[in-house]
Amino acid sequence: MCPVRFVTYLSNQSTLLTPLKVIDKMGTKMKFLAIFLILIGCAGTLYWLKGHTAPQLIGKAYFSIKTDKKIVALTFDDGPSVPFTSDILDILKEEGVKATFFILGKHAEIHPEFVQRIYQEGHEIGNHSWSHARLIFKTPAFIRDEIERTDHLIKTLGYTGPIHFRAPYGNKLLILPWILKKMDRPHILFDVIAKDWEKPSPHIMTQRIMEQLHPGAIILLHDADENNIEDRSYTVQTLKTIIEAVREKGYQFLTISELLKEDTGS
- Helix (H) or strand (E) holding 18, with range, is helix 18-24
Cβ nearer to Zn ion, comparing 10 with 193? 193
Contact 209, 246 (CB under 8 A): yes
Piece of 69-77, 117-125, 181-189, 257-265 that binds Zn ion (CB under 5 A): 69-77
Does residue 146 belong to the site contacting Zn ion (CB under 5 A)? no
Question: How, if at all, do strands 100-103 and 124-127 pair?
Answer: parallel
Q: Give residue number: closest CB to Zn ion.
A: 77
Cβ nearer to Zn ion, comparing 77 with 196? 77
Cβ nearer to Zn ion, comparing 65 with 104? 104
Per-residue CA distances from 225 to 5, 128, 188, 234, 245 (Å): 49, 11, 18, 13, 25
Cβ nearer to Zn ion, comparing 77 with 146? 77
Residue 7: name the closest of 51, 37, 50 by CA: 37
Residue 76: name the closest of 197, 237, 198, 220 by CA: 220
Piece of 20-28, 70-78, 155-163, 232-240 that binds Zn ion (CB under 5 A): 70-78
Does residue 225 belong to the site contacting Zn ion (CB under 5 A)? no
Q: What residues act catalytically?
A: 77, 222
Rounded Cα–Cα distance for residues 37 and 72 (Å): 43
Rounded Cα–Cα distance for residues 172 and 137 (Å): 10
Number of H helices, E strands in the chain: 11, 8
CB of 46 to Zn ion, least distance (A): 21
CB of 138 to Zn ion, least distance (A): 16
Count, residues near Zn ion per rule CB under 5 A = 3
Contact letters for Zn ion, residues 243-262 (x by CB under 5 A): --------------------
CB of 199 to Zn ion, least distance (A): 16
Site for Zn ion in 160-179 (CB under 5 A): 168
CB of 152 to Zn ion, least distance (A): 20
Cβ nearer to Zn ion, comparing 31 with 186? 186
Q: Hey, is 70 helix, strand or coil?
A: coil
Among 62, 78, 81, 101, binds Zn ion (CB under 5 A): 78
The sign of the CA dihedral 115, 100, 203, 171 is positive
Rounded Cα–Cα distance for residues 182 and 61 (Å): 14
Contact 151, 114 (CB under 8 A): no
CB of 225 to Zn ion, least distance (A): 8
Rounded Cα–Cα distance for residues 204 and 186 (Å): 31
CB of 35 to Zn ion, least distance (A): 37
Does residue 77 belong to the site contacting Zn ion (CB under 5 A)? yes
Cβ nearer to Zn ion, comparing 69 with 195? 195
**Residues of the shown chain interacting with Zn ion in the complex, contacts defined by CB under 5 A:** 77-78, 168
